[in-house]
Amino acid sequence: MALHSSAFCFSSVALGHRNSARFYTQRTGRPAGFSCQPLPSVARLSLQGKAFSGDGVPETKESPLVVCFGEMLIDFVPTVNGISLAEAPAFKKAPGGAPANVAVGIARLGGSSAFIGKVGEDEFGYMLADILKENNVNNEGMRFDPGARTALAFVTLRSDGEREFMFYRNPSADMLLQEAELDFDLIRKAKIFHYGSISLITEPCKSTHIAAAKAAKDAGVVLSYDPNLRLPLWPSAESAREGIFSIWETADIIKISEEEISFLTKGEDPYDDAVVRQLFHPNLKLLLVTDGPDGCRYYTKDFGGRVKGLKVDAVDTTGAGDAFVAGILSQLAVDLSLLQKEDLLREALKFANACGALTVTERGAIPALPTRDAVLNAIFQSVT
C-alpha cells in the first residue's frame, strides 16, 4: 500500500526551464488498479478514477483536476515512539508537507491532482519532485530555488502516535515562491484549488498565495482550505489567528480539527455545535471538523451531523488529516452535488474517514497514504 522511503525508486527525468526554475515533464508510474467486491455501505459512492488510453497514460477527462498549493518538505520521523528528538536512535526520512500530501493522496485514490510550490535546488528538492511524478501528480507548477534549501521537519512521536514538530526553514525555499513563478493556466484548469495557512506566514509567498487563490476564484474554481495550524512557525499566537482568518471568508470548503477550533475561538468548547457554527461564514458550502479516531463532523447551511471513523492502532498520526482531505476532495471533484445531498455526503465522508484511519497505521505522511482499493477493502471489512 505504501511507498516506503527506504525504497524510493528514482527514474531519469527530463529537465527544462520556466521562469528561471527547473521543472519536471516526464510522466512516470501508474496508479494501482482498482478491483473490489461490491460494498454494501459504499455502493453509492461516486468513486470515479482515471481512464486509461491504449498506451497506459492516464487521461483526466473523468477525473477533474485538484490543484494543491503550498509547502512540500522532508519529515524526519523517529523510529521509536515516546522519546524526545535527542533520544531518538534513528529517523525515517519521509516526504511530507500538507498540500503535497493531499495531492499525492488524491492521485493514490485514482483522482487527478497537481502541486504548486517551491523547493530547494538540492537533492531533497529533486527527490520530492520525483516522488510527485512517481505518484502521478502533475508537478509542472513546482519551482526550484538555487539560493534556499528544501524545508525539513523533525517529528517527535508520543507513545499514542500524536506528534510535535521542530522545523528547519530560515528561510526555506517554499517561503520564497513569487507570483511571477505561478502557473496560472494550471490553476484555472482546476475544479478545486486546495491550500493551507503556512504559505501566509511570510512574504513573498503570502502575496503569491493570495494571487493564486484570487485567480482560481475568478475562474470559478472551488476553494478548499485546511488551516493546518503549526503555531511554532508563526511570530505569535495572535498573528497565527489573524493570518488564518484573513482568508477565511473566501473559502468554499474548510476543514479544521478540534484543536484548531479551540485555538481560533480562544478556548471555547470545540465539541459544541454552536461554537463550530460561529466559524461558518455566509458563502461557505461545507465546514468539516476532524475528530481523530471518532471520525468527523460536517456542517452546511441546511444540515449537519457526525460520521464515525474506523478504529485502528495508531502508529503515527502525521498526514491523517491530509489523507482525510484527499478522500473527500477526490469525491467532490467528481460530483459537487454531494454538497446538497446529505446521504451521499455521509458516504463520501465515511470513505474520507477510512483514508485518514489507514494513514495512521504507518510512519510518515506520503509513505502511508492509502490506495482506493485499500480504503474500500477496509470499509468492507468494517461492515462484515
**Angle, helices 320-332/342-359, rounded to nearest 10 degrees:** 150
- Specify the pairing of strand 73-78 against strand 304-307: unpaired
Confidence at residue 155, expressed as pLDDT on a 0 to 100 scale: 82
Tell me the pLDDT band of 24, cut-offs 50, 70 and 90. Answer: very low
pLDDT greater at residue 17 or residue 154: 154
Give the residue from 69, 70, 91, 72 showing the smallest Cα distance to 80: 91
pLDDT for the residue 77: 81
In sequence order, the β-bridge partners of residue 305 are 298
At 7 the pLDDT is: 30
Mean pLDDT of 129-155: 96
- Mean pLDDT in residue range 191-195: 98
Query: pLDDT at residue 325 above 90?
Result: yes
The pLDDT of 113-118, averaged and rounded, is 98
Q: What is the DSSP letter of 331?
A: H
- Among 61-70, 122-131, 366-375, the range of highest mean pLDDT: 122-131
* pLDDT of the residue at 122: 96
Query: How far is the CA of 241 from the CAs of 165, 218, 235, 263, in angstroms?
Result: 19, 26, 11, 8
pLDDT band at 13, cuts 50/70/90? very low
Least confident stretch, 49-53, 57-61, 311-315: 49-53
| Cell numbers placing 45 | 459512492
Residue 21: the pLDDT is: 35
**DSSP line for 64-97:** -EEEEES--EEEEEESSSSS-TTT-S-EEEEEE-
Q: Is 154 exposed, middle or buried (0-12, 13-18, 19+ CB in 10 A)?
A: middle
Q: What is the mean pLDDT of residues 127-145?
A: 97
Query: Which residue matches cell numbers 446521504?
Result: 343
Average pLDDT over residues 356-381: 90
Q: How confident is the model at residue 384 (pLDDT cuts 50, 70, 90)?
A: low
Mean pLDDT of 84-93: 87
Q: Measured in Å, how far apart are the chain's first and last C-alpha atoms?
A: 22
Give me the pLDDT at residue 172, please.
96
> What pLDDT is attached to residue 366?
87
pLDDT at residue 8 is higher than 70:
no
CB 221 within 8 A of CB 253: no
**Dist. CA 10–CA 267, nearest whole Å:** 46
Other beta carbons less than 10 A from residue 200's beta carbon: 23
Range scoring the smallest mean pLDDT among 46-55, 208-217, 297-306: 46-55
pLDDT of amino acid 193: 98
What pLDDT is recorded for position 14? Answer: 31
Please give the model's pTM, rounded to 2 decimal places: 0.83
Q: In sequence order, what are the beta bridge partners of 18?
A: 21
At residue 63 the predicted structure's pLDDT band, cuts being 50, 70 and 90, is confident
Pick the range with the lowest mean pLDDT from 62-76, 98-112, 278-292.
Answer: 62-76
Mean of the pLDDT values across residues 26-47? 35
Return the C-alpha cell found at 21: 526554475
Of 32 and 172, which is predicted with more confidence? 172
Q: CA-CA distances (angstroms) from residue 272 to 16, 285, 295, 370?
A: 52, 20, 16, 32
Written as one string, the DSSP assignment of 334-374 is: T-GGGGG-HHHHHHHHHHHHHHHHHHTTSSSSGGGPPPHHH
100, pLDDT greater than 70: yes
Q: What confidence tier does 303 reach under pLDDT thresholds 50, 70, 90?
A: very high
**What contacts 151, CB < 8 A, 6 or more positions away?**
71, 72, 73, 74, 97, 119, 167, 168, 169, 172, 173, 174
CB 12 within 8 A of CB 18: no
Taking 80 as the threshold, does the pLDDT of residue 141 lie above it? yes
Least confident of 135-139, 171-175, 254-258, 312-316: 312-316
Q: If you average pLDDT over every residue of the chain, what do you get?
A: 84
